[in-house]
Amino acid sequence: MHRVTVSLKKNVRFLATMANASAPASTPKPADHWNFLSELSKRREQSPTRALMPLMKIPGMINLGTGLPNAQFFPFKSLSFKIDDGTELELSPQELNECLQYAATPGLPGLLAELKKQIQDEHNHPYEKWDVCVTTGSQDGLTKAFEMLLNPGDIIIVEAPTYSGALAYLKPSGVRFLPVAVDGEGITPDALKAAVSGLSAEDRARCKVLYTIPTGQNPSGSRAGDARYVTDLATVYISYL
């Protein structure tokens, strides 16, 4: 499949990114998705304050470039949780300070390592060079993904109906919508075929993203069948776009 498909379902709070993760040498290299990025994303450069972060590990280094608060003045000294099976969890003072301090942009290193392990264990990620980015909820992840991929005037395929929160972000951004009907198993291949085959060649080139909610679709409640998504829809997408 040559197109980027965004399918961020609720509670899957990560963006797959191409970054510095290590993987066995035999794993395939990811496709180069540079051409799918929005013009805004292509112009982005690393923030200088973030680029300097690794230098902070050097003993005695003092950073005058950012306003890192002194941990001695953090107002919370301990934090504990009780979960519904009765287990009590307590953060060590060091863990609590880490939570209250500025952290690396993709997320807290310990949390990232655990998320990556879970993704690898459950999904056996096939590519080398992948990473995760923690976001503040699904909506934050969605808006980051949309901004990363879409220019004003680009076309996004959306389920009809789809999640109103995503539409609220997308509508003022100037993208164009291509609605496709869903049934109890998500987008129907016939409806996708009818929608994309009606596009002009110029619009096909600008049809970059398919936004789908495969599990617990909001608001229809549908759950996508694997065969339909992996085989039928991918075939339509590759054939027509």
* Phi, psi values for residue 183, rounded to 5°: -120, -160
User: Which strand (E) or helix (H) includes residue 211?
Assistant: strand 207-211
Near ligand PLP by CB under 6 A: residue from 6, 130, 134, 138? 138
Interface of this chain with ligand PLP, residues 1 to 30, rule: CB under 6 A: 10
Min separation Cβ 177 and ligand PLP, Å: 16
CB of 160 to ligand PLP, least distance (A): 14
Indicate which single residue of 213, 224, 233, 236 sits in contact with ligand PLP (rule: CB under 6 A). 213
Interface positions, 149-168, toward ligand PLP (CB under 6 A): 163, 165
Residue 186 dihedral angles phi and psi, to the nearest 5°: 95, -155
Alpha-carbon span 237 to 229, nearest angstrom: 10
139 binds ligand PLP (CB under 6 A): yes
DSSP state letter for 39:
H
CA distance 114 to 95: 15
Q: Which stretch binds ligand PLP (CB under 6 A): 66-74, 96-104, 137-145, 200-208?
A: 137-145
Determine how β-strand 176-183 pairs with β-strand 186-187.
Answer: antiparallel
Task: By CB under 6 A, name the binding residues for ligand PLP.
Answer: 10, 137-139, 163, 165, 213, 218
